[in-house]
Structure 1
Amino acid sequence: MSTQMHAGYPLSGITVIDLSHVYNGPYATFLMAMAGATVIKVEPFTGEHLRSRGDMGGSALPFAMLNSNKKPVTLNLKSEQGKDLLREMVSRADILIENFAPGVMDRLGVGAKALHEVNPRLIYGSSSGYGKTGPYKDFPAMDLVMQAMCGVIDSTGHPDQPPVKAGAAICDFMAGIHLYAAVMTALYERERTGTGRVVEVSMQDATYASLASNLGMLHARGDQAPARTGNRHGGLGISPYNVYATTDGYVVLNAPGDHHFRAILDVMGKGNLKDDPRFLTRSSRVENFAAVDELIETWTATLSKEEIATRMLEAKVPCAPVRSLKEVMQDRNMHERGSLQWVDHPHLGRVVLPHSPLVFEGVERLAIEPSLPLGGSNEEVFGAWLGHSDAELREFESSGIIGPRPDPTP
């Protein structure tokens, strides 16, 4: 197995052992893979949770989205020989990522301290709901739970209705992005010191700053601050800032500066209201946000969302149609940039998959290699890379140390 196959990319030659599952860790390692790293995905014999989650068939595409360009292997980490194989991999690797509950890896005997004895240059990255220290460290955590604990759910929805969760798995992906940042920071340090480091990111810590507008309003208004502001600005500091009905759906409009609102009035044919004291400044518009919203929606309700967006964007007003997921998957900007790509997946058929948002000028985006079946790289990793013979691999299989080779048929 070559770790130099992506020469010219930032992480070419870097080998990552990925023990993570679902969204958090796998997104961090996906970013590494698309930056040129060799990512070996280590899974139990049943596969990581996202391979078989739920009964609605909805987990297959998310797994494919987050596990392109990775080399999946199966390994029994409860067996001593399985742990020995992990140590062999770690001795040749640069980074290990896991998002088990705190203490799991230590109880298995392959925690950060033990693995640093094998490879002092290893960067050990972990992520969990609440972190490895503190009174919550042993609490189970998933994105829904973290949205509740972080204030996301209480901040989402309309003030006269019950709170709702964010549609996006915001806490999982916030943590994944920060985990990537922490690991890359430690990798930079290792280039200067030659020594690896343990880094960790909690979902709770990673999410807090995203509520800056809401926290600002709480600081300014105390108990008078509404918990939820619907589609208005979280800090109620900008008007207009809302979702407005159209003849065929909705648009969003945002006027962060006074010149934006004057442009909106021009587009609507309401230039005569530019000197209206209710609308003159951002502060006055915030005080009269109901009147601002009524003025705008009276106009938007007569036009289609695309026509409104076209007119507003021509006037340099922040505006967009509220689009369905089906529309977003076919976004022409992301497809033209290569951020989204149609891929013929061997198990899912023709699907849209995301590339990394990280663009490295001077090299083309790496080709997306579709996610492989469970254990699809066992022979490449344990055989070609670690040097075990075919007979040894068969013995590992029969002894329950690695899983059986996958069925070659889709």
Structure 2
Amino acid sequence: MTIRRALDDIVVLDLSQVYNGPYCTMLLAQLGAEVIKIEPFGGEPVRWRVVGEQQTAAFDLLNGGKKSLRLNLKHPHGRRIFLQLVELADVVVENFSPGTLQRLSLGYDVLAQTNERIILASGRGYGAGTPQAEQRAMDLTIQAVTGVMATTGQPDQPPTKAGPAVADFFGGTHLMGAIVAALYQRTVSGRGQHVEVAMQDAVVPSLTSSIAGYLDSGGSLPERTGNKHSGLAVSPYNVYPAADGWVAILCMTDTHWKSLCRLMERGDLAEDPAFASPPARVAQMDELDAIVAGWTAKVARGDLVHRLQSAAVPCAEVLGLSDVMSGPLVGPDGMIRPVRDSAGRESYVFGSPLRLTASASVPATGAPGLGAHTEEVLREQLGMDTAEVSQLRDENVV
């Protein structure tokens, strides 16, 4: 018996670009949805932004398993074709700057008149009702206005952006959740709806430690704490030197702390009332960090992690990207999957962090070339023949 996927038979028209929307639609594709990526004639910005005529690795990673339709939405005929596709689709995903769909006469009211079951999912930058609601946004600007940059880095250094594009990917993940919720609600109501997720709103809950530290201290804690706990509520909690690298170690509980003391052969610290509670340890975190670092610096990181893990102390080696790319996350069933297209080009695509035991997995396939599925989509979805597609090409519609 063939095992169905969670979103089999769901058709998604993907107008999105860069990271936010494409990650959302990547997750939908991994759940079995047919994702038709609709791009302008020059392709979406990430496709070529670094290496000229060759697809970027960023585009490859986020767009595996999708079909590519090149379509000029500014052409009246291109707009008509899009609305014909909307009639047959379930979801439209976009993360254009505010007002773009309305300027194309493709706002939700128009889409819903075409197909009352359609779900329009919009990835936004700023939350509705905020002063920046109508402004363009990118990951960096969202990090700036939400406190992410203010809470990242060392206390005596300027604000620093987080290394990962947290706003884009948190926003994309929440948008996927909103779409799945709307699909479920449609099974009851019979109607679609317009769902929106602002990256600004999606990022804020991740600042729980920092916001809690601010509130609990009456605003007296420093915003930037380096590698220490963001709310300065846990110690030891830091990145410590090993003999050949770095290891992250934290002691969330008294049990963790006592286990660490035994490993360091510092039973005196475990029994010392001055370090007997989390608040007491936090009050002396600089001293504790120096003690822990003095011990870790003499041990190779692999041996250090083995000892800590054996004692159930939370820890991990600090790995570089070269370590990650040569490690267990890369492979046919990993989160980073090597693929080869029909022309023999090698690339990587992301796997899905969503694991459903009763839903078949989606095979990893490479990201499509620009417009690679134009004729296939128009033929299969709208019943056009080769001559009709050729005419549309001549008219610069597709």
How many angstroms does 1:246 deviate by?
1.3
* Residue of structure 2 in register with 1:195 after alignment: 191
* Residue of structure 1 in register with 2:32 after alignment: 36
CA spacing shift, 1:347–1:213, aligned 2, 3 Å:
farther
Contact 1:241 1:255 in 2 (8 A): yes
* Residue of structure 2 in register with 1:309 after alignment: 305
Percentage of identical aligned residues: 39
**Residue 282 in 1 paired to residue 278 in 2?**
yes
SS of the aligned residue for 1:73 comes to strand
CA spacing shift, 1:76–1:14, aligned 2, 3 Å:
same
| Aligned with 2:378 (options 358, 382, 390) | 382
> How do 1:249-260 residues align onto structure 2 when only pairs under 5 Å count?
249-260=245-256
CA spacing shift, 1:320–1:216, aligned 2, 3 Å:
same
Partner Cα separation in structure 2 for residue 271 and residue 105 of structure 1: 66
Provide TM-score, normalisation by structure 2.
Answer: 0.95
How many angstroms does 1:268 deviate by?
1.8
Q: Which letter maps to 2:205? A: A
* Residue of structure 1 in register with 2:12 after alignment: 16
How many angstroms does 1:58 deviate by?
10
Contact 1:93 1:122 in 2 (8 A): yes
Q: Deviations over 1:333-370 (max 9, x none)?
A: 66485333232246794444320100110344211111
Contact 2:274 2:281 in 1 (8 A): yes
Q: Deviations over 1:85-105 (max 9, x none)?
A: 100110000000000011110
| Aligned with 1:157 (options 153, 158, 181) | 153
How many angstroms does 1:37 deviate by?
0.4
SS of the aligned residue for 2:92 comes to strand
Contact 2:243 2:298 in 1 (8 A): yes
CA spacing shift, 1:388–1:351, aligned 2, 3 Å:
closer
Q: Which letter maps to 1:67? A: N
Partner Cα separation in structure 2 for residue 172 and residue 98 of structure 1: 13
CA spacing shift, 1:162–1:171, aligned 2, 3 Å:
same
How many angstroms does 1:21 deviate by?
0.1
* Residue of structure 1 in register with 2:162 after alignment: 166
SS of the aligned residue for 1:244 comes to strand
Q: Which letter maps to 1:112? A: Y
SS of the aligned residue for 1:10 comes to coil
CA spacing shift, 1:262–1:345, aligned 2, 3 Å:
farther
> How do 1:307-346 residues align onto structure 2 when only pairs under 5 Å count?
307-332=303-328, 335=331, 338-345=334-341
Partner Cα separation in structure 2 for residue 106 and residue 386 of structure 1: 24
Q: Which letter maps to 2:111? A: L
* Residue of structure 2 in register with 1:96 after alignment: 92
Provide TM-score, normalisation by structure 1.
Answer: 0.93
Partner Cα separation in structure 2 for residue 99 and residue 268 of structure 1: 52
Partner Cα separation in structure 1 for residue 52 and residue 278 of structure 2: 47
Contact 2:4 2:360 in 1 (8 A): no
Deviates more, 1:389-398 or 1:273-282: 273-282
How many angstroms does 1:317 deviate by?
1.0
Which blocks of at least 5 consecutive residues in structure 2 are unaligned? none
SS of the aligned residue for 2:271 comes to coil
Partner Cα separation in structure 2 for residue 306 and residue 248 of structure 1: 9
How many angstroms does 1:223 deviate by?
3.5
> How do 1:350-361 residues align onto structure 2 when only pairs under 5 Å count?
350-361=346-357
Contact 2:153 2:225 in 1 (8 A): yes
Contact 1:329 1:352 in 2 (8 A): no
CA spacing shift, 1:356–1:323, aligned 2, 3 Å:
same
Q: Which letter maps to 1:383? A: R
Which blocks of at least 5 consecutive residues in structure 1 are unaligned? 1-5, 403-410
How many angstroms does 1:222 deviate by?
2.9
Q: How many residues align?
A: 397
* Residue of structure 1 in register with 2:73 after alignment: 77
SS of the aligned residue for 2:36 comes to strand
How many angstroms does 1:248 deviate by?
1.4
SS of the aligned residue for 1:224 comes to coil
Partner Cα separation in structure 2 for residue 154 and residue 9 of structure 1: 42
Q: Which letter maps to 1:165? A: K
CA spacing shift, 1:150–1:58, aligned 2, 3 Å:
farther
* Residue of structure 2 in register with 1:408 after alignment: none
CA spacing shift, 1:352–1:47, aligned 2, 3 Å:
closer
Contact 1:154 1:228 in 2 (8 A): yes
Partner Cα separation in structure 2 for residue 14 and residue 72 of structure 1: 17
**Residue 264 in 1 paired to residue 246 in 2?**
no
SS of the aligned residue for 2:84 comes to helix
Q: Which letter maps to 2:251? A: A
